[in-house]
């Protein structure tokens, strides 16, 4: 097997790229813009050109490159075909085939949230666990499920879509997916802001949140400062997220939940609110799950896609 691996994470505004050795050490890291115009037709050629240029620059032989891993924001089937990626402008796109043709190197493709889970298991907060669920609390909620060291991609590439797990029966507002009561409506950065607005409306209690822009960060900063209104928001957040984690645990009994995304910057304090609800709702045999923070941040995707290549070579 070749000694070098490219890990690529395709986002809506930029493509993150990493060059790794087989041990997972970063040799080089850079970004290129994502050109989404014209149905995103330039994205894959741009990536291929950047990789080919890097190979030339490093004076590698093609045989020295084990492969290219690519994380994309959309469902991916077993043949490396993406079934629409709205943020990239893509319709059905055979990513694996195109990259292999343009670069002359084997390619592996995965969904970005799933691939991030693989990255966190390999080099991040999930190290030491072979059975884990990555929960990414960002603008929405993404997820990635790993069982016995392998990604659970699902029959239609929709494995780990835990942001759209139904967790509340009496919700009136609709989620982006069209359903009502999805986990994402409460636990994402936007969900926390929504919860905070509701709590602020239903009380008159003074709160620093009344004088600042309400963001997930502002809420947890206020929690740390002892703000009672913010604490009430964190309790609702924790109650619902803990319930959702318990539902996942009853299906999978994972060894660990790895929590990442922008909201996770609040740190371990999140678990003080999530864990009590988790323990209330979880099946007794599943209660030992560990809660850990993701550590790779925005690099989880490039690590994970490099790991896709290593796993495919086994």
Four-point Cα dihedral 131, 279, 251, 122, nearest 10: -20
Smallest distance, a second copy to C-beta of residue 3, A: 29
Among the candidate windows 45-53, 91-99, 193-201, 250-258, which touches a second copy by CB under 8 A? 250-258
b/e burial code for range 57-92 (CB count within 10 A of at least 16 → b): eeeeeeeebbbbbbbbbbbbbeebbbeebebbbbee
Residues 160-219, interacting with a second copy (CB under 8 A): 160-162, 164-166, 168-169, 177-179
Smallest distance, a second copy to C-beta of residue 41, A: 24
Residues 75-94, interacting with a second copy (CB under 8 A): 75
Q: Considering CB under 8 A, how many residues would be counted as binding a second copy?
A: 45
Compute CA distances 272 → 17, 246, 277, 287, 292, whole Å.
35, 15, 10, 15, 12
Q: Say whether residue 50 binds a second copy (CB under 8 A).
A: no
Distance between CA atoms of residues 220 and 222, nearest Å? 5
Among 79, 251, 269, 312, binds a second copy (CB under 8 A): 251
Residues 105-164, interacting with a second copy (CB under 8 A): 131, 143, 145, 147-148, 150, 152-162, 164
Distance between CA atoms of residues 47 and 99, nearest Å? 8
Smallest distance, a second copy to C-beta of residue 126, A: 13
Among the candidate windows 37-45, 207-215, 216-224, 280-288, which touches a second copy by CB under 8 A? 280-288
Smallest distance, a second copy to C-beta of residue 189, A: 20
CB-wise, 214 or 249, nearer to a second copy? 249
- Contact yes or no for 74/309 (Cβ under 8 A): no
DSSP 192-248: HHHHHHHHHHH-----GGGSS---HHHHHHHHHTT-HHHHHHHHHHHHHHHHHHHHH
Query: Which residues contact a second copy by CB under 8 A?
Result: 75, 131, 143, 145, 147-148, 150, 152-162, 164-166, 168-169, 177-179, 243, 246-255, 280-281, 283-286, 288-289
């Amino acid at each position: 097997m070749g000694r070098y691996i490219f890990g690529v994470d395709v986002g809506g505004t930029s493509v993150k790229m990493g060059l790794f050795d087989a041990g997972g050490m970063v040799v080089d890291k850079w970004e290129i813009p994502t050109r989404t115009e014209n149905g995103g037709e330039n994205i894959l050629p741009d990536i291929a050109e950047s990789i080919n240029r890097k190979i030339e620059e490093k004076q590698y032989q093609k045989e020295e490159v084990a492969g290219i891993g690519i994380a994309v924001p959309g469902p991916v089937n077993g043949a490396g075909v993406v079934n629409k990626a709205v943020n990239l402008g893509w319709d059905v796109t055979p990513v694996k085939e195109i990259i292999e043709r343009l670069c002359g190197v084997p390619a592996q493709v995965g969904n970005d949230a799933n691939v991030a889970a693989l990255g966190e298991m390999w080099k991040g907060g999930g190290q030491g666990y072979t059975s884990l669920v990555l929960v990414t609390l960002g603008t929405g909620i993404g997820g990635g499920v790993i069982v016995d060291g392998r990604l659970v991609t699902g029959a239609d590439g929709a494995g780990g879509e835990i942001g759209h797990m139904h967790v509340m029966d009496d919700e009136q507002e609709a989620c982006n997916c069209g359903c009502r009561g999805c986990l994402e409506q409460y636990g994402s950065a936007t969900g926390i802001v929504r919860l905070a607005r509701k709590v602020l409306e239903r009380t008159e209690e003074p709160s620093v949140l009344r004088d600042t822009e309400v963001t997930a960060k502002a809420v947890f900063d206020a929690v740390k400062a002892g703000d009672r209104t913010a604490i009430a928001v964190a309790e609702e957040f924790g109650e619902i997220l803990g319930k959702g984690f318990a539902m996942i645990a009853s299906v999978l009994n994972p060894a660990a939940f790895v929590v990442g995304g922008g909201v996770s910057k609040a740190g371990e304090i999140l678990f003080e609110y999530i864990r009590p609800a988790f323990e209330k709702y979880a099946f007794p045999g599943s209660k030992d799950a560990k809660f850990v923070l993701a550590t790779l941040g925005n690099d989880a995707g490039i690590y994970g896609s490099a790991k896709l290549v290593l796993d495919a070579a086994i």
